[in-house]
Structure 1
Amino acid sequence: MTKTKILSIAFVALSISAAKAQDVEQAKKAIDAEQYEKAKNMLKAAVQAKPNDGRAAFLLGKVYLKQDIEDSAKVVFQKGITAKEDGNLNYIGLGQIDLNAKNTSGAQTNFANALKDAKKKDTEEHVFIARAYMDADKPDYKAALVALEKAKLANAQDAQVQLALGDAYYGDKNQNDAYAAYRNAFAADAQLIRAKMQLGVLLKGARAFTEAVKAFDGVVASNANYGPVYRELAETYYLWANNDSKKYSEYIQKALGYYEKYMSLTDYSLASRMRHADFLILAKDYKALEAEAQKMQQLDKVNPRILRYLGYSAYENGNTDVAIESLTKFTTNPANKVIARDYMYLGLAKLKKASGTTAGAPVDAATFDSGVADIRKSVEMEASMTYDLSELGKKFFDQKLYREAGAIYEIAVTNEASKNYTQDLFYYGYALYYANNRKDVKPDVAQVQKAEAAFAKVAENSPTTQDAFLFRARANSLMDANEAMAKNYEDYLRIVNEKGAEEMAKDATKKKMVEAYNNIGAYYAAINDKVKAKDYFNKALVLAPGDSFATQSLKQL
Structure 2
Amino acid sequence: MKNIMKMMKQSIAIVAAVAFGFSAQAQSLEDGIKMIKYERYESAKKILAPLAGSNATANYYLGIAELGLDNPAAAKADFAKFPEDLANKAGMARVAFTEKNVAEGSRIAKEVADATKKKEWEPLKYAADAITYTEGGDKQQAITWYKAALAKNDNADLHIALGDAYQQVQGGGGEAMNNWESVTSKDPKNSLAFSRIGALWYAAKNYKLALESYGKAKDADPSNPLPYRDLANAYFWVGKYDLAKQNIEQYLQLSDKSIEDQMQYANILYLSKDYPAAISKLQELINGGANKAYLYRILGYSQYETKDYPNALQNMRTFFAKQEPSKIIYSDYLYYAKIMNQSNMPDSANYYYNKADQADTASNKSDVERQIAESFKDAKDYAKSAEWYGKLVTTYPETQPLDYFWWGAMAYYSKNYDVAAKAFEQMETKYPDQPSATYWRGRVAAAVDNEGKTGVAAPFYTKWLEKVGPTYDKKADLMQAYQYLTLYYYNKGDKATAQSYLDKVAAIEPTNSFVQQMKGIMSKPAPKK
Give TM-score, length-normalised by structure 2. Answer: 0.70
Letter in 2 for 1:378: A
Quickly say closer, same or farther: Cα 1:125–1:296, change in 2 above 3 A: farther
Equivalent residue number for residue 423 of structure 2: 454
Judge conservation of contact 2:490–2:498 (CA < 8 Å) in 1: no
Measure, in 1, the Cα distance between the counterparts of 2:66 and 2:251. 20
Counterpart among 311, 329, 333 of residue 339 in structure 1: 329
Change (3 A) 1:222 1:545: closer
Q: Which residue does 2:511 correspond to in 1?
A: none
1:35 is displaced (CA, Å) by 0.9
1:29 is displaced (CA, Å) by 0.8
Q: 2:253 is matched with which residue?
A: 264
Specify the alignment match of 1:381 in structure 2: 359
1:525 matched residue in structure 2: none
- Residue identity in the other structure for 2:182: N
Look up the equivalent residue of 2:276 and give its one-letter code.
Answer: K
- Cα distance between partner residues in 2 of 1:156 and 1:236: 35
In structure 2, C-alpha distance between the alignment counterparts of 1:544 and 1:463, rounded to whole Å: 26
Q: Is the 8 A contact 1:64 1:73 kept in 2?
A: yes
CA distance in structure 1 between the aligned counterparts of 2:291 and 2:274, rounded to whole angstroms: 24
User: Whole-Å Cα distance in 2 between the matches of residues 76 and 409 of structure 1?
Assistant: 57
1-structure distance, mates of 2:137, 2:371: 26
Give 2:42's aligned residue: 37
- 1:262 is displaced (CA, Å) by 1.4
**Do the aligned partners of 1:30 and 1:39 also contact (CA within 8 Å) in 2?**
yes
Shift of 1:426: 2.2
Q: Which residue of 2 aligns with 1:97?
A: 98
Percent identical residues: 21
Aligned match for 1:162, one of 150, 156, 159: 159
Alpha-carbon separation, structure 1, partners of 2:525 and 2:409: 29
Deviates more, 1:26-35 or 1:546-555: 546-555
Of 271, 291, 297, the residue aligned with 1:282 is 271
Contact in 2 for aligned 1:126/1:151 (Cα 8 Å): yes
Give, in whole Å, the separation in 2 of the partners of 1:111 and 1:371: 46
Query: CA distance change for structure 1 residues 406 and 146 in 2, over 3 Å: closer, same or farther?
Result: farther
Asked whether the 8 Å contact 1:58–1:76 carries over to 2, the reply is no
CA deviation vs aligned residue, 1:527-549 (integer Å, no higher than 9, x gap):
xxxxxx88xx6896485369799
CA distance in 1, matches of 2:156, 2:306: 48
| Structure 1 residue 462 displacement after superposition | 2.1
Change (3 A) 1:236 1:301: closer
Match of 1:226 among 224, 236, 244: 224
2:501 corresponds to which residue? 544
Counterpart of 1:463 in structure 2 is 432
Query: Structure 2 vs 1, CA of residues 509 and 38 (structure 1 numbering), >3 Å: closer, same or farther?
Result: same
Q: Would you say the 8 A contact 2:330–2:359 is kept in 1?
A: yes
- CA–CA distance in 2 between the matches of 1:234 and 1:190? 22
Secondary structure of the residue aligned to 1:225 is coil
C-alpha distance in 2 between matches for 1:543 and 1:127? 86
The structural deviation recorded for 1:554 is: 8.0
**Corresponding residue to 2:292 among 303, 317, 320:** 303
Q: Cα deviation per residue 1:13-54 (whole Å; 9 max; x = unaligned)?
A: 99999987765543211111221112244455555x25x94x
Change (3 A) 1:545 1:451: closer
Q: List gaps (5 residues or longer) in structure 2.
A: 1-16, 504-517
Change (3 A) 1:413 1:501: closer
Aligned-partner Cα distance in 2 for 1:129–1:85: 9
Would you say the 8 A contact 1:129–1:144 is kept in 2?
A: no
Q: Give the distance between the partners of 2:350 and 2:275, measured in 1 at CA.
A: 23
Secondary structure of 1:332's aligned partner: helix
Residue 322 of structure 1: how far off its partner (Å): 2.0
Deviations 1:502-554 (A, max 9, x none): 478986458537747977999xxxxxxxxxx88xx689648536979999998
Q: Which moved more, 1:143-152 or 1:276-285?
A: 143-152
Task: Give the C-alpha shift of residue 450 in structure 1.
Answer: 4.1
* 2: CA distance, partners of 1:235 / 1:266: 16
Task: Work out whether 1:27 is the aligned partner of 2:32.
Answer: yes
Deviation readout 1:460-513 (Å, 9 max, x if unpaired): 542343443554566578789xxxx9888756755665x374478986458537
- After TM superposition, list the pairs within 5 Å mapping 1:126-141 onto structure 2: 135=133
Select 1:370's aligned residue among 331, 345, 348. Answer: 348
- The CA deviation string for residues 130-155 of structure 1, in whole angstroms up to 9 with x for no partner, is 66666557999x85895477347635
Task: Return the alpha-carbon distance in structure 1 between the equivalents of residues 277 and 193 of structure 2.
Answer: 32
- Partner residue of 1:407 out of 369, 384, 396: 384
CA contact (8 A) 1:310 1:323 kept: yes
- Please say if residues 61 and 73 of structure 1, whose CA atoms lie closer than 8 Å, have aligned partners that are also in contact: yes
2:513 paired residue number = none
User: Aligned ranges for residues 155-554 of structure 1 at < 5 Å?
Assistant: 155=152, 157-167=154-164, 178-188=176-186, 192-198=190-196, 219-240=217-238, 242=239, 251-333=240-322, 335=324, 337-352=327-342, 354=343, 364=344, 367-382=345-360, 383=365, 384-386=367-369, 388-389=371-372, 392=375, 395-396=378-379, 401=380, 404-408=381-385, 410-411=387-388, 414-415=391-392, 422-436=401-415, 447-468=416-437, 471-472=440-441, 490=459, 497=466, 499=467, 501-502=469-470, 508=477, 511-512=480-481, 515=484, 541=498, 544=501
- Post-superposition offset of 1:379: 3.6
- Coordinate RMSD, CA, aligned: 5.1
Retained in 2: the 8 A contact 1:212–1:236? yes
CA contact (8 A) 1:74 1:94 kept: yes
The 1:510/1:28 distance shift into structure 2, 3 A limit, reads same
Q: 1:423, 1:320 → 2: CA distance?
A: 29
Residue identity matched to 2:410: A
Aligned equivalent of 1:247: none
2:87 alignment partner, SS class: coil
Shift of 1:333: 4.1
Q: Tell whether the 8 Å contact from 1:540 to 1:550 is kept in structure 2 after alignment.
A: no
Q: How many Å separate the matches in 1 of 2:246 and 2:286? A: 23
Aligned pairs, number: 484
The answer for the alignment partner of 2:506 in structure 1 is none
Bigger radius of gyration among the two: 2
Q: Distance in 1 between matches of 2:474 and 2:276?
A: 48
Cα pair distance change 1:180/1:418, threshold 3 Å: farther
Distance in 2 separating the partners of 1:273 and 1:118: 41
The residue identity in structure 2 corresponding to 1:377 is K
Q: Bigger shift: 18-27 or 459-468?
A: 18-27
CA distance in 1, matches of 2:469, 2:228: 59
Distance in 2, Cα, partners of 1:488 & 1:232: 56
Question: Quick one: which amino acid aligns to residue 91 of structure 2?
Answer: N
Distance 1:40 1:389 in 2: 45
Aligned partners of 1:470 and 1:488 also within 8 Å: no
**CA separation of 1:305 and 1:193: change in aligned 2, threshold 3 A:** closer
